[in-house]
Amino acid sequence: MAVTTKRFTTSIPAELKNGIISGYGNGELGPGRRATRAQAAQMLKNFFENQ
């Protein structure tokens, strides 16, 4: 199933601000890329730590 990036572009600034996502380290976020298991686990960890 293809996911369009437009759906998520409004939440990206909030996720960056809250430390849930941080990008690839070179200023790139890659919202159209698939996340690895490790990346998804890190995002979930960051999300629950910020609750």
- 46 vs 48: CA distance, rounded Å: 6
Residue 27: which domain range? 12-49
Is residue 4 in some structural domain? no
Structurally, how many domains does the chain consist of?
1
Answer whether residue 1 is part of any domain: no
The confidence score (pLDDT) of residue 37 equals 96
Residue 21 lies in a domain: yes
Count of alpha carbons within 13 Å of 5, Cβ hemisphere only? 7
pLDDT (0 to 100) of residue 13: 85
**What does the pLDDT read at residue 5?**
59
CB 32 within 8 A of CB 6: no
Residue 5 in any domain: the answer is no
Tens-place pLDDT, residues 1-51: 445 556 667 788 888 899 999 888 887 888 778 899 999 999 999 999 988
Whether residue 39 is contained in a domain is answered as yes
pTM attached to this predicted model = 0.72
The answer to whether the beta carbons of residues 9 and 30 sit under 8 Å apart is no
User: Quick one: pLDDT at residue 46?
Assistant: 94
pLDDT of residue 1: 42
What is residue 47's DSSP assignment?
H
**What six digits make up the tokens of 39?**
């990346």
Q: Note whether residue 38 is domain-resident.
A: yes
